Amino acid sequence: MEIKPFILLVEDEEAISTMLQYNLEQVGYEVDVVADGEDALYQIEERIPDLIILDWMLPSMSGVEICRSLRSQEETQSIPVIMLTARGEEADRVRGLDSGADDYMIKPFSPKELIARINAVFRRTRPLMTSRQVEYGGVSIDLDTYKASFAGKNIRLGPTEFRLLLFLMENPRKVYTRDQLLDAVWGRDVYVENRTVDVHIRRLRKALGEAKEGLDDMVRTVRSAGYMLDVDSD
């Protein structure tokens, strides 16, 4: 199963958010919608999106305030942001970009143009989104064949272990709780006990260890926190 890039759409006009969510999901993105500025920041804490589409005018906090907040924190400063607004004056565009937005679109706009802008931002800021190969610690994942290997030797993975490894390889050296891994790998609409993550981590480690002795050590347990992928930790 393919892991879809996750986009958080922060838009309080229901007609626009419904239309954009439909169009984005049709081209293969996973989309969650939030209509309030403070709720958006809470949602981002729960799950880091691959890209944020951010309306300028929002309840509780403006898009500019949200963008500045994201850019001020290490864990969120690199998230690509596309700002949406009805403000078309040059000074407003400059202000939006100066707040840290990667791109800026003026309402009304074509969903096709927005999708093109999203793809362009991903190519520029997240090359892994357009690359068909993911590599870390000597492990390679081929997204055309959905196979993982180490030094040319196939790593025998089940579908869930494959998705889990891919997510960790795209986010190395970051600690994820069981709940965060469940949301990212299993999906937010699927009810699974969080201890299920431990079972699949053990299976993933076993598969890595069978490919090369000691390779399983790259999947680290962080006590009282969760799991991370790291080849350099002690």
Q: What is the CATH number of the domain that holds 110?
A: 3.40.50.2300
85, 139: one domain: no
Tell me which of 87, 111, 129 is where a domain ends: 129
Tell me which of 113, 129, 145 is where a domain ends: 129
Q: Label residue 1 by pLDDT band (50, 70, 90).
A: very low
Residue-number span of the structural domain to which 109 is assigned: 6-129
- In this predicted structure, the answer to whether residue 227 has a pLDDT above a threshold of 50 is yes
24, 120: one domain: yes
User: Is 169 within 8 Å of 134 (Cβ atoms)?
Assistant: yes
204, 219: one domain: yes
What CA–CA distances, in Å, run from 132 to 68, 147, 229? 32, 11, 20
- In this predicted structure, the answer to whether residue 212 has a pLDDT above a threshold of 60 is yes
Number of domains in the chain: 2
Quickly list H helices, the chain: 14-26, 37-46, 63-71, 90-98, 111-125, 159-170, 178-181, 196-211
199 C-beta neighbours (distance < 10 Å), count: 11
End-to-end CA distance of the chain: 33
Six-digit token string for 49: 């999106």
181, 203: one domain: yes
Q: 210 lies in a domain?
A: yes
pLDDT, tens digit, 9 for 90 and up, residues 135-191: 888 999 887 777 899 988 999 998 889 989 988 998 888 899 998 898 888 876 556
pLDDT, tens digit, 9 for 90 and up, residues 34-81: 999 899 999 998 888 989 999 988 888 888 889 889 888 888 888 888
Taking each helix axis from N to C terminus, what angle separates 111-125 and 14-26, rounded to the nearest 10 degrees?
60
44, 100: one domain: yes
Q: 46 lies in a domain?
A: yes
Q: 1 lies in a domain?
A: no
Q: What is the pLDDT of residue 39?
A: 92
57, 105: one domain: yes
Taking the model in full, what pTM does it have? 0.56
Q: 209 lies in a domain?
A: yes
SS3 category, 149: strand
Q: Label residue 125 by pLDDT band (50, 70, 90).
A: low
78, 167: one domain: no
Please choose, from the candidates 52, 6, 36, the residue with its C-alpha nearest in 3D space to the C-alpha of residue 183. Answer: 6
162 C-beta neighbours (distance < 10 Å), count: 20
